Amino acid sequence: MEDQDDPALPGFDLDRFTPYRLSVAAERASEGLARLYRARFGISVAEWRVLAHLEHSGNVSVRDIEARVALEKSKVSRAASRLETAGLIAKAVDPADRRLLQLSLTPEGRALMAEMLPVALGFQAEIEARLGDALAGFERGLQRLLDDMEDKDDPSA
């Protein structure tokens, strides 16, 4: 009986609040992944995203990555700098538009990705195993959220 005398409040339960649940799940997942990457490869989540995008998409600019990978451009920039220092990616000025950078994996970066990918896929498999038969429904919902939110980001309204 820890209720005080408030007849009005409907007894809100954070545990049933989807944004909160989503946030906790995401945090935990990212944290787990981050732990793996940091311990085994010395790579942060931002760096991982940049690498993964480069592996997938060849030469890209910082702006491209920012858009495609949900990372602040300053975060991308700094991640890229660290990766370059580590010899994992190369920066080149785009000859067609010299404001743009062309980021690309070095052979070392490519080799590291070859090591990291199995870890990533293993992590993914683990999540899928946990989800079990809820996987399809979950991914479907997630997709809806991602689709709908695509541009809700920029509330010019």
Partner DNA sequence: GGTTATTCATTGCATTTGCAATGATGTCAA
Partner DNA sequence: TTGACATCATTGCAAATGCAATGAATAACC
Residue numbers at the binding site for DNA (CB under 7 A)? 44, 46, 61-64, 66, 72-78, 80-81, 91, 97-101
Minimum gap (Å) between residue 88 Cβ and its own copies: 15
Q: Which is nearer to its own copies, 87 or 137 (CB)?
A: 137
CB 106 within 8 A of CB 91: no
Minimum gap (Å) between residue 100 Cβ and its own copies: 15
In this chain, which of 38, 44, 55, 106 binds its own copies, going by CB under 8 A?
Answer: 55
Number of residues assigned to the chain? 157
Rule CB under 8 A: is residue 13 a binding residue for its own copies?
Answer: yes
Burial zone of 105 (CB within 10 Å; 0-12 exposed, 13-18 middle, 19+ buried): buried
Angle at 156 between CA 153 and CA 157, to 5 degrees: 110
Angle at 50 between CA 49 and CA 53, to 5 degrees: 85
The answer for residues whose C-beta is within 8 angstroms of residue 136's C-beta and 6 or more apart is none
Minimum gap (Å) between residue 125 Cβ and DNA: 26
**Contact partner at residue 62 from its own copies, DNA, none, CB < 5 to 8 Å by partner kind:** DNA
The whole-angstrom separation of Cα 86 and Cα 109 is: 9
Q: Which residues bind its own copies (CB under 8 A)?
A: 2-4, 6, 8-14, 17-33, 35, 49, 52-53, 55-59, 69-70, 110, 113-114, 117, 120-121, 123-124, 127-128, 130-132, 134-146, 148-149, 152-153, 155
